[in-house]
Amino acid sequence: MDSEWLSRWKSLRICVAGDVMLDRFVTGTVERVSPEAPIPVLHFQSERKMLGGAGNVARNVVALGGEAGLVGALGEDDEGKWIADRLCAEEGIVGHFVRTDATPTTVKTRFLAGGQQILRLDVERPLPADSEREREIASACAVALGRASALTLSDYGKGVLTAVTVRQLIALGRARGVPVIVDPKSTDIERYAGARVLTPNAAETGKIVGYVCDNDESAAAAARAILDRAGVDAVVVTRGAQGMTIWDPGAGQKRPTHIPTVADEVFDVSGAGDTVAAALALALAAGAPLREAARIANAAAGVAVGKRGTAVVTQRELQAALGGGGDPKFVDNATALEIVNDWRDHGLKIGFTNGCFDLIHPGHVELLRRARATCDRLVVALNADVSVRRLKGPQRPLQNQRARSIVMAAIDGVDLVTLFTDDTPLALIEALAPDVLIKGSDYTLETVVGADLVLARGGKVALVPLEAGHSTTSIVTRAHADR
């Protein structure tokens, strides 16, 4: 059934309205402390700009396979122009923006080194309430709702979603007969009356009800209290590592229910709420019951928290998290490039190694272990069957490329597996631009394919020691000798 719901998302458009921001990520290296003050000196390497706030909800909608219209207010500045003219087009998002000189575009700049934030700089000023601007936002939303199947309100408390605007937008959504999903910021939850579902996180829920929600019982009580006060149809409390609590009495629920988290590892919970809002909106728009929609959104959140920083979850990743779509580690070259770029955007060091890996033996395992120690994420490129035959003869490989890929993807230290059909992975190395290129110590710097490309970009080549006495050829020779 999961595949059926997800397959419907392609034709769905979600209207996302709220506080749109610009997220900047400045990545560099820290090698010393400033002589001027006890602070680290960041040596600049790269900068990436992306949509944040309500914009990140829209990004997640598109990544999950839907279409997105984005409504918000932007300053009359370069940052607002960058969002409206460039980022929306790059992300495939249709923007409906009100431009204002009353406040600058909200910008959050994160400085990263070694995959960790060392400083965040915020440029923001709440948008002052203005009746004319409220009418403009409502008009923009009416246009964006033209063929939308759901409306999501992403409230970051920056002034776009005033109480008046929220009431107007919810009324628009109800008049169009589409579900309205609200990710709230205000404790004045009565302003969200009429919405299909409210999705506060545990911290927001605690502020609303006045007590800590740190277990199932307190979360259930809080969900009941919020629904009674807010006048919404249902409440989904997102609780991070504790999963979700759902209260939807209109669907016949006798009591709130709980869904455990599905995250394997948690790196960063920021942005997970945006992913939940996007997945929930798509699932409800597709006709899924709230509990089913929440289960799907919970799986999406489990993927999101495994990434660093503002991140999106793709439909492929969600399908894998839900137990379908094959091994998420084994991908084609185009998907590998997309994933590697996402890792790099979040300050992760990318390692790359390659080979036939026909029969995995202890030497391979040690090579991969040492390779993974040099980086944050390890990509293994396997020679496709046609490439192996050219290199090693018509009797090889002993295992076809699918079998070799499945075995490789099962190794813990390997984060991504892809294939190449050429004799060497040079084109793939050029495309992925790894930070570290790893080969065994039987190679020299001069004989490692792609070493010059990696070094020219400021990367490194690591030649790791090999376990003596292990090779696929020797295993095959011994096997024939024992017959």
Closest CA to 257 of 236, 226, 240, 277: 236
Question: Of the residues 2, 274, 358, 435, which is catalytic?
Answer: 274
Q: Which residues contact 186 (CB under 8 A, 6 or more apart)?
A: 155, 157
Closest CA to 185 of 147, 209, 156, 206: 156
Strands 234-238 and 150-154: unpaired
In angstroms, rounded to a whole number, what is the distance separating the alpha carbons of residues 119 and 406? Answer: 40
Between the CA of residue 474 and those of 62, 288, 468, 470, what are the distances in Å? 50, 56, 12, 7
In angstroms, rounded to a whole number, what is the distance separating the alpha carbons of residues 248 and 257? Answer: 9
Sign of CA dihedral 175, 89, 297, 26: negative
In angstroms, rounded to a whole number, what is the distance separating the alpha carbons of residues 140 and 402? Answer: 50
In angstroms, rounded to a whole number, what is the distance separating the alpha carbons of residues 138 and 176? Answer: 14
Token pair for residue 54? 């309500």
Q: How many Cβ atoms sit within 10 Å of the Cβ of residue 188?
A: 13
Residue 372 near residue 352 (C-beta atoms within 8 A): no
> Is 130 labeled as catalytic in the residue annotation?
no
Q: Which residues contact 17 (CB under 8 A, 6 or more apart)?
A: 54, 70, 71, 72, 137, 141, 144, 151, 152, 153, 154, 160, 161, 169
Amino acid sitting at position 197: V
How long, in residues, is the chain? 483
In angstroms, rounded to a whole number, what is the distance separating the alpha carbons of residues 212 and 206? Answer: 5
Q: Which residues contact 294 (CB under 8 A, 6 or more apart)?
A: 236, 244, 246, 259, 280
Cross-strand partners of 350 = 377
Amino acid sitting at position 383: N
Residue 377 near residue 343 (C-beta atoms within 8 A): yes
In angstroms, rounded to a whole number, what is the distance separating the alpha carbons of residues 189 and 185? Answer: 9
Just list the catalytic residues: 274
